[in-house]
Amino acid sequence: MGLAAMATSARGMAATVRVLGRGELGRFTGGDRSEVGRFERELAQLVGTRHALAVNSGTSALVAALVGAGIGPGDEVLVPAYTWVSTAAAALAVGAVPVLVEVDGSLTMDPADLKDRITPRSRAVLPVHMLNHVADMDAIMEVAAAHDLLVVEDACQAIGVTYRGRRAGSIGHAGCFSFNQHKNIRSGEGGALVTNDPRLFERASMYHDVGSYERAGFAGADADLIVGVNLRMPELSAAVLRPQLAGLDAQLARRRKHRGIVLESLASRVGRDLRPVQHHDPAHAAGLALEFDSPDAATRFGANRGVHRLIDTGRHVYTNWRSLQARNPLHPALDPYAAVDAEIDHGPDACPRTLEILARTCAVDLAPELPTPAFRLLARRIAG
């Protein structure tokens, strides 16, 4: 672990001790000293939005954002075929139906295929910024505006990353983040949504806390109250996250530096048997994936430490979303598909181009926690 990571970890431990010492572990027990409240303000400032709402997972953030946007039964929500299963599951959680969209060579939603999959029932689109690769948001927002679609960015894997001068999550009508153990900043579990839309924020806030109708700052006096659930983030999670949030830009800079080290080590092979995956803001790329000519070549490269072939990433590939394919509602009266006239394809042939791309592509872990000399050694081993 590098010195910066060690310092961040030490600050997080000190913050958790402070919270434990006060005994104020719940979201609303800390009053003005609430770690969650402070984290929300700092997150909104970093991302550049008016509002931020901390919740207990990225999945919860997606569900709360769709509730906030008024998405529900009879609606279709367009999602990429390469993403964690939660992106599609969030649509079902609010009674809507997910519609699969191909990804392109950037590993993110293909705007051309998005346009082709829109129907009169389409209400929202969930572009996903996979592996710190930001989707082509300008093109997606243009398509969405032309068809009056709401855009909720699934930025769970890309907090802090920029796209043409804007932070991921701040471009659509709402953006969602995850803080589980695999993300840029981590609290074991946790999530957040951000938005500039006061109405969306108000509804999402009411939904994330069943007792919100008695709390100041979440529902105005003239709010149309809705019954919520409990998606609240605890104080300890926010205490762990706040020091990491403060060091996020420095961490992303290390990712970009490590990306350059890997590409330098592979320079003799670039253009010959591998190519860096397209990035929509290459000057600020904080992730690295490599495309090969064949699945076999990707399989061989994926055997390296710190590398994995994308087709082998389980529930990130739509063909492995077995619970989605089963189409078993929680109760027959709550069947989202009953409100949709057309048959929607979630089978293995729904997005063949996505499968072909993933079979030939490997992601490289840029390991920002490693000191640069140690990462150089790893990069040389990857390059062979």
CATH number of the structural domain spanning residue 304: 3.90.1150.10
Query: Which of 233, 262, 294 delimits the end of a domain?
Result: 233
Do both 218 and 358 map to the same domain?
no
Average of per-residue pLDDT across 94-116: 97
**Dihedral, CA atoms, 106, 107, 109, 115, nearest 10 degrees?**
60
Beta-carbon-side half-sphere exposure of residue 328 (alpha carbons within 13 Å): 4
- pLDDT at position 4 is 56
- pLDDT at position 13 is 66
91-104 per-position pLDDT tens digit: 999 999 999 999 99
In a domain, 138, yes or no: yes
- pLDDT at position 30 is 61
- pLDDT at position 3 is 52
- pLDDT at position 342 is 65
- pLDDT at position 24 is 72
Do both 217 and 273 map to the same domain?
no
Do both 77 and 222 map to the same domain?
yes
Do both 146 and 178 map to the same domain?
yes
pLDDT for residue 221 is more than 70: no
In a domain, 276, yes or no: yes
Do both 254 and 376 map to the same domain?
yes
In a domain, 16, yes or no: no
Do residues 238 and 245 lie in contact, with contact meaning Cβ atoms separated by under 8 Å?
A: no
Do both 185 and 254 map to the same domain?
no
Do both 287 and 186 map to the same domain?
no
150-182 per-position pLDDT tens digit: 999 999 999 999 999 999 999 999 999 999 999
In a domain, 326, yes or no: no
Query: Which of 203, 233, 263 delimits the end of a domain?
Result: 233
Provide the pLDDT confidence category of residue 216 given band limits of 50, 70 and 90. Answer: confident
Distance of alpha carbon 143 from alpha carbon 101, whole angstroms: 13
- The range of the structural domain enclosing residue 42 comes to 24-233
267-282 per-position pLDDT tens digit: 999 989 999 999 999 9
In a domain, 349, yes or no: no
Query: Which of 181, 210, 233 delimits the end of a domain?
Result: 233
In a domain, 334, yes or no: no
Do residues 160 and 254 lie in contact, with contact meaning Cβ atoms separated by under 8 Å?
A: no
338-373 per-position pLDDT tens digit: 888 668 999 999 999 999 999 999 999 999 999 999
**CATH number of the domain bearing residue 85:** 3.40.640.10
Helix axes 3-22, 235-246, angle to 10 degrees: 150
Structurally, the chain folds into a number of domains equal to 2
In a domain, 331, yes or no: no
Provide the pLDDT confidence category of residue 108 given band limits of 50, 70 and 90. Answer: very high
In a domain, 338, yes or no: no
